[in-house]
Structures are given as structure tokens and as C-alpha cells.
Structure 1
Amino acid sequence: MENGGPRAWLLMAAGDNRGHGGNAGYDDQVDAYYSWDSNVPNSKKLAVGDPIAVWDKERLLGVSVIEEIETSRGTKVLNRCPRCGTTRISLRKKALPRYRCMKSACHHEFDDPRVDVAEVDQFTARYDAGWTSLEGLIDAQDVRRLTVHEGDFNAMRPIDWHALENALVERRADRAVARMTGRMPQIERHTRDGIIIDMPQGFRHAVVRVRRGQRQFRDQTLARQGSICAFTGGAPARVLDAGHLYSYAKLGEHHEHGGLMLRRDIHRLFDDGVLAVDPARLRVDVAPELESYPQYAKLHDRPLTVDLRDEQVDWLGKHWDEHRGAVPDLR
């Protein structure tokens, strides 16, 4: 819990701007997973169910909720200052010598670091099912204001959940907030000595429910459907999600024929209900708010690119009733 709300994290995305303390960097895919190791501050504090915001030191990239954390044992190559031994060294782009120690008491300059190999715990947090891309919605200065501890420079640092929520709502990213809260542990409000306190309820159950079977569900759906988005056609498997045709957050289980492979942007829009399927004609319906985007507007009234089982048609009918009402939107 941070500042009376759910514990949330600001994660620095990999790339030239992610400081990685004299090591070889991390394998990140910002819209799917984030990697770190036990040498990183706060390494063991992140947990399934925690909301996250990912940035690159210049702007917000997106938000989600951690679904799963994979842990393994491995090694890490550390480049150290040959004088003081710190890993806080900087590889300079043009100046020579190539390296400079960033420790204030040292500032040694050198061509070759001292190389050590350390055993570490390695972590990968997956969050692709709930990912919402918000690239550039919040600039670096405003992102920093959302952190819990002013002046925190860690790659993984606590962020004020309520401040983040308000910032997103102010910028009309209400759906991103709704998608996150739907995947977070339930929060119950209590009053203690006149102060409202948010307390998580059923967290252990939420952890089990989010983690169990997601990868198997995707593998099975991909094997049946192939590398095809049901709305747009063929696509690389790495950009496809196994999208549930129902609210997994409500039902908490994977139905064998309860999903379709969907391109990630299509998956988000389907979850929001701005893309739907008319169950009577099995044709795509595009909500008016998407009509100004040609890539989505052209999908309207198109048939799906895959054959459906009766169970999938039933689920699509329930989704239609929820977002369109029982009467089709005839245009």
C-alpha cells in the first residue's frame, strides 16, 4: 500500500535511457513484459496484481497490471570502476577515456572496466493482457510528479496510484483506468479514526486466478486458430493475444472455446466494446467513435477471418448484448 491506495510502480523501459549499473542491460518488451534481477532496488517488492506505468524518461508509454512474475536463477556480468569498484559507471559516446565513474567521491576515467560475474535471481513480469498504450499522454516532468518519493531515481520506483489514476482521467484515459482496476485485487474502503483507508480484499485469490492457465489458454487458442487475427487476418504470433470473449476478471476461468486470437490493438478495442461482432450475421461492428480512424472504420460490416464454433458465437452474443444491446445497430 502506498499513500492510502494500492501499491503501484513506475518502470523505466529498456533502451539507451535505462540506466543499468554497468551490466549488459535487460530483455524488455514494453507492451508485454519487463525484466530485472535481484541487484536492482525494489527487486522483490513487485507482486502480481500491482498496477504499473512504463516510461522511457521522456514520456509515459503505457499502463497495465502485473499478471505473472517468473523467477529463475542466473548470472549477471557487472562492469565496475577499477578504482572504487562501483557499478555506477557511464559509457561515453565520444569522449575518451571511454568510461567515467559516476560515484561523486571517485569520478575516475578509464578505458576498460573491471569485469565480475555474479549469481542473481532473475525476474520477468508479464502484463500484456491488460496493456494500454498511452505513448506521450503524460510527459516526463508530470510523470516524475506522480512518484511517491521525490528525487527517486531507481529504474523501478513506487508511484502514487491515486495520482496516476487522476492524471489519466484528466487526460480522458478513463478506459485505461477501468481496464486496470478490473484486473487489480478488490479494494474495500474502511474508516478508522475518521480516516478512509483502502484495504485489499481477497488478494491471494486474485493472484491464483490471474496466473493459472493463461499461457496454456493462449497456446491452445493459437494452435486451433493459427497466426491469424479474427478481425484483420494474418499477423505474426508475437503481436497476437488470446482474447477472452467474456470478462475473465468476472468469471475467473478459461473456457476451452472462449477465446479468439486478436491483434493487440483489436483486443483492447474489443474489450472496450467499440469493436463488436453482430451475432446474427457474424460481421464486425465498429462504434461511431472509431469511424475517424480508417484502419478501423474499414472493418465495419466485414465477416470474421476465421470460422467459429457455436460456443464462440454464444459468447460473442453476450458481448454484443452488453455493449450494443439486443437490437443490432443497422446502418
Structure 2
Amino acid sequence: MATREPRRAWLLMAAGDDRGYGGNEGYDDEYGAYYSWDSKVVNHKNLTVGDPVALWDKRRLLGVSVIEEIERSTGHKLQNRCPVCRTTAIKPRKTKLPRFRCDDCKAEFDTPRSEVVEVEIYRARYDAAWTDLDGLLDDREIRGVQANKGEFNAMRRLDWAAFSDVLERKHADRALRRVVGRLPDVAWGPTLDIAVDVPQGFRESLVRVRRGQREFREALLTAQGHRCAFTGAAPARVLEAGHLYSYARIGEHRAHGGLMLRRDIHRLFDDGLLAVDPEHGRVDVAEDLESCPQYARLHQQPLTLHLRDEQVDWLTQHWTEHRTVAD
């Protein structure tokens, strides 16, 4: 019997003073939404759409998510090297002079040798499933769940099984369910072989999709309009087709199995922080959200559309999972 390969996952160092730039000027990151790197970075080709990721800042865990999309483009960057041995293993010092010191040959200097190099630039987006876990794990705990304990790269392999066990022990079950629930329904399209000419070179994108998700959203928009079921009228670009059941478990789109939801409402509904009392058709806001006025005011408000019987059935299951069990 073949041994099942462990799930590939990544530990990513968020941009900041502690992220080693390899002699360049740094990266454009927004750690709760996307992560950037280039072809000079170790593991630059190994991250894949659908991989779970954990972000940290070398001191604490920041959060977890799943890669939804990877954009790639060509570009140039300024790279600084040691003038003695020409390595990029240099970093400006905060107080000491000379300003630079080479980690390899130990040379000290005020001005590095600079050159412009052509690179491939990558950006991974994962904001749809992002769950903030700021400070839940410290640096010692995070290093303990690396796949290779001695690795020090900015993008390194994460032991997903060990990391999941730690999250469970820390009572971060909701975050873990959110990530795991988005893993089984990943679909990989063919790699784009055609380069699209743009002023800065080319750009291609690998996107994690749910099969039929676009058609499912269009059907809900037609039936329900440009309206969030919880908050009312909203631009189409901020509305998402929210399943009333776990698509990861069922694996298909049901005709009346969804609601149009504003992006933030969708996330809170998936987490169970927002629910619908199926008996009265009114919004129930969890205690965790009571300190946020924009959500607290939704409590006991009716939905903005009339529910079908099938939707009430799904909402009853959601209510049972997130409210009845909690009681």
C-alpha cells in the first residue's frame, strides 16, 4: 500500500526588519492579503495554488490561510552585493559604522556594489481565507513545527500535521476548520504557456477555483440581485456567493444552497460568528462581535430577502452547528 505524501504547507516570513532581503530593497507585502517574492529567493518555484500558509514575523505567528492565486510577472530589481566577495548576504546595520557588514567574508563597508538584475516577480493572494492568529504561537513553537528544523529561509516548508496539532491544542479549531474546509475543492487549470505582452514584460496567473463557482454566483445574482442577504444593497464587486453548507464536504453547487453575501459577512458567516435563527429568520450575532457596532446592529434584524424552504433547511443545519452545540 502506497504511503500518502504529507500535505505541502509553507511558513512565510512577513516583510519587515527581520526578513532577510538578500541584498535587495525589500518586498511589497500586506501579510493579511498577499505575499511577494522573486526568482532569487529559495523555494521561489515551489509554492502552489491551494497550499496552506502560515505567516510569522520571526517572533510570533500572525495568521493562516490558503493560497488562492499566484501572479507572475517579469521585472527588474536593484541588488546590493559585498564589494569584496560579491555575495548578497549583506544587510544594513542600524547603529554601527561602517553601515554594511558581509555575513560571508565579514568585510565592512559603507557602500555596497549595486547592480540591476532581471527577475521573475511572484505575488500570492490568500485574503479570502485569511484568519488572524496574532501571537497565538511564539517563535520557539513555530520553529518546532518546521518541516526541516534547521532551515532559515524566508519561505520554508511547514509540517502541516504538527502545526495542525498545535492549533488544536491552542483551541484555534475555528481557524483550522476554515483552512481545511477550503483545501479539498482546489482545481488546477493548465499552466499558461503564452506570454502576454505588457510594458513591463509578461504576467500570468494561476488561480484556485471551485468548479462552477462563477456560474453559481451568476445564478445567485440573477435570483437575489446586487444585495447582501444580511446588510442590503451593495456593489457586485464586493458580493460573494456564500454556500449555506460545506462545499468541501458535498462537492457540488445546489440550486438554492446559497446567499449573496458581502465579503466580510461571508467570512463571519462561515466562521459561525453570524448565523440566522431559522425559526424567525433573524440574524444572530455572536458575543465576539458585540464590540463592533457595524455588526452588533445586525442582531435580531430580518434578512433582506425571502428565504426558500431549501435555504431554511441549510440555515437550520448551520444554526445547529454553530449555536445549538455551543449551548
> When the two structures are superposed, what TM-score results if normalisation uses the length of structure 2?
0.75
- CA apart distance, 1:285: 0.9
1:252-285 CA-to-partner distances (Å, cap 9, x unmatched) read 669998432132xx43331022312346765321
Can you list the C-alpha shifts for 1:141-184, whole angstroms capped at 9, x where unaligned? 10001001122110000011110000000011112221222222
Partner of 1:294: 291
Structure 1, unaligned runs of 5 or more? 187-201
The SS at the match of 2:181 is helix
| 1:63-102 matched pairs, under 5 angstroms | 63-102=64-103
RMSD (Å), alpha carbons? 3.9
Match of 2:47 in 1: 46
- Matched positions, count: 295
- Structure 2: how far apart are the matches of 1:237 and 1:92? 48
Secondary structure of the residue aligned to 2:316 is helix
Contact 1:278 1:317 in 2 (8 A): no
Q: What amino acid is the match of 1:67?
A: E
1:123 aligns with 2:118: no
Residue identity over aligned pairs, in percent, reads 53
The 3 A distance-change label for structure 1 pair 317 and 129 is farther
Tell me which amino acid in the other structure corresponds to 1:301: Q
Aligned residue for 1:174? 173
Cross-structure match for 2:283: 284
What is the DSSP-based 3-state SS (H/G/I as helix, E as strand, rest coil) of the residue aligned with 1:157?
A: strand
Determine the C-alpha separation between the residues in 2 that align with 1:237 and 1:97: 55
Residues 279 and 313 of structure 1 are in contact (CA less than 8 Å); yes or no, is this contact kept in structure 2?
Answer: no
* Alignment check: 8 A CA contact 2:24 2:79 kept: yes
Distance 2:48 2:171 in 1: 28
Contact 1:62 1:134 (C-alpha < 8 Å) held by counterparts: yes
- CA distance in 1 between partners of 2:119 and 2:97 (Å): 32
In the alignment, does 2:320 pair up with 1:320? no
* Matched residue SS, 1:284: strand
Displacement after TM superposition at 1:133 (Å): 0.9
Secondary structure of the residue aligned to 1:210 is: coil
Among candidates 240, 243, 253, match of residue 242 of structure 1: 240
CA deviation map 1:72-131 (0-9, x unaligned)? 11112111111111111111112222211121xx11111221111111111111111111
Alpha-carbon deviations, 1:184-230, whole Å to 9, x = none?
248xxxxxxxxxxxxxxx9758x976277879969x98xx759xx87
1:161-200 counterparts in 2 under 5 A?
A: 161-185=160-184
- The aligned residue for residue 267 of structure 1 is 266
From the superposition, tell whether residues 236 and 139 of structure 1 become closer, same or farther in structure 2 (CA, over 3 Å): farther
Stretches of structure 2 lacking an aligned partner (at least 5 in a row):
190-205
Q: 1:184 to 1:93 in 2, by over 3 A?
A: same
Whether the 8 Å contact between 2:276 and 2:319 is mirrored in structure 1 is: no
